A and B are shown apart, each in its own frame.
Chain A
Amino acid sequence: MNETPISRGFKPKRSQGNSDPRIPPGQHLTTDFPILSAGPTPNIKVADWKLALQLGGRLLGTWTWDEFEALPQTTIKVDIHCVTTWSKLDTSWRGVTFDDLFKAVGLSQPPEPYVMAHCDGGYTTNVPVADLMSGKSMIATRFEGLPIAPAHGGPARLLVPHLYFWKSGKWVRRLRFMPGDERGFWEARGYHNYGDPWKEQRYDGD
């Protein structure tokens, strides 16, 4: 674009601006926790909850709620970034890292390079396995020390904090290893396939 893009008369509110080096470009700080979902919030009882890990047609492992709670638990404090431009700093989550989850089924290294997360309500999202490993990501069951509220993805959700938050699928029930990349729900509907907030990968082609 040749012309100057300054918006006449626009004065930023510095309190919301991205002068903080922890806030990616185009994002603004929120202290709230906005909710975004494509459909109704499912009502999931932990007694009925199960998580499955799948490779091809084979189940590598399944966990009931109690079995999942018995896995090593990790607490991490991270910043999260939603594609709708809010960022939230220093959020605390507890759950099971993918390293520990894969270890629990005897995998010393991931068998395929991609994972599709399948969630209640039909939502899916695809993540490269490399982005799940080394303690970067987890399946979280607690937010700020409390069970995750249903509207925020409880009882269990993905947490992939270094990617836009739609990758952190709510109500996760099944993880499927994939030999090749496939697009999940939003990724097939115009959103970026990878979603790095520091590169502003919001939509396809960004």
Chain B
Amino acid sequence: MVIDDSKQNRHIEWQFAKVREIVIETTRVKTLLLEPVRPFHHLPGQHVDVRLTAEGGYHAQRSYSIASAPEDDLLALTVERVADGEVSPYLVDELRPGDKLELRGPIGGHFVWDAGALDPLYLIAGGAGVTPLMAMLRHRKKVSRPVPAMLLYSARSCPELIFRIELDAMAREDTALQVAYTLTRQQPDGWHGHCGRIDKKRLASIGFPPSRAPAIYICGPTGFVETVSSSLVELGYDSARIKTERFGPSG
């Protein structure tokens, strides 16, 4: 691994971003489109820390994955309301266009995809875990570097699939990209996609085989990531090529 010493000890400063637009994605998920005072370049998969301050100076901060491509004009954070949470209900229900939001980033140097990589890109998302993977797919599209890619995306029901219209359009326009949904709880009439949880059997029947040595990124709730990553290892995928990001109940 190459460590760029010039980047060591560079403090990641807190700064304000202006909320330019808020997109309703699902009943529990919104995308915040932000314009940081000091724009920065991120790698797809990285996150930012968001800090809220109450009267009296009380702070609460949480990490949110960046959903936008580095090339996009605005920084997109796609946030799911965590029941009982402290920060996410504010971001989803209270924040308005024109507000200021304090954040710092980009953060994280492991769960990132380098568009120069030649290996097939195999993305597996559970629920709101699709967010950092979306940044990778948007980046892949922007740089027109169509290494074969696949997104396996599990949600509870059709209305809870985030980014579905954009993902379907991406897959239509790009024969090297395959998007496969699976719905765990409720399937609409005429649903042709998969039903049920992503398990070992499902993983054995879909995706790039271990022989193609895909770069694998898994993001979702803890139990989802544990099941998917251990199943892939059992199926013969190289554990050193599996990167995981777990969404804990951090609110």
Contacts and interface: CB of A to CB of B under 8 A. Distances in A.
Interface string B221-237: 01000100110110000
B54 A11 contact: yes
Given A38-B110, A38-B243, A188 B1 contact: yes
Interface string A58-81: 000000000000000000000000
B239 A35 contact: no
Interface in A185-203: 185-186, 188-190, 202-203
Interface string B60-91: 11110000000000000000000000100010
A40 B232 contact: yes
B248 A86 contact: yes
Given A6-B53, A36-B246, A37-B246, A26 B239 contact: no
B3 A188 contact: yes
Contacts of B246: 34-37
Contacts of B175: none
A18 B90 contact: no
B11 interface: yes
B244 A37 contact: yes
* Max chain B Cβ within 10 angstroms of own Cβ: one of A10, A17, A185, A204: A10
Interface stretch (B101-109, B132-140, B165-173, B180-188): B101-109
**Count class of interface residues, chain A:** 35 or more
Given A40-B242, A84-B248, A204 B8 contact: yes
A7 B14 CA distance: 14
A205 interface: yes
- Per DSSP, chain A at the interface is loop
A190 B109 contact: yes
A12 B60 contact: yes
B244 A39 contact: yes
B232 A34 contact: no
B239 A9 contact: no
A120 to B, nearest CB: 9
Interface string A1-37: 1010111111111001110000001101010101111
B26 interface: no
B242 A39 contact: yes
A91 interface: no
A92 interface: no
B3 A36 contact: no
Contact of A32 (B16, B53, B107, B249): B249
Interface in B31-64: 49, 51-55, 58-63
Contacts of A36: 246, 248
Contacts of B174: none
A135 interface: no
Contacts of B54: 6-7, 10-12
Given A17-B58, A189-B108, A205-B10, 10 more contacts: A6-B55, A28-B86, A28-B250, A28-B251, A34-B248, A36-B248, A37-B246, A38-B111, A40-B232, A85-B62
Interface of A: 1, 3, 5-13, 16-18, 25-26, 28, 30, 32, 34-43, 84-86, 121-122, 151, 183, 185-186, 188-190, 202-206
Interface of B: 1, 3, 7-12, 14, 16, 49, 51-55, 58-63, 86, 90, 94, 99, 101-102, 107-111, 222, 226, 229-230, 232-233, 239-240, 242-244, 246, 248-251
List the 10 closest A-B pairs by CB distance, nearest first. A34-B248, A205-B11, A189-B109, A40-B229, A7-B52, A10-B52, A13-B86, A9-B94, A35-B222, A5-B53
11 contacts: A7-B54, A34-B248, A41-B226, A41-B229, A43-B230, A43-B233, A84-B62, A190-B109, A204-B12, A206-B11, A206-B12
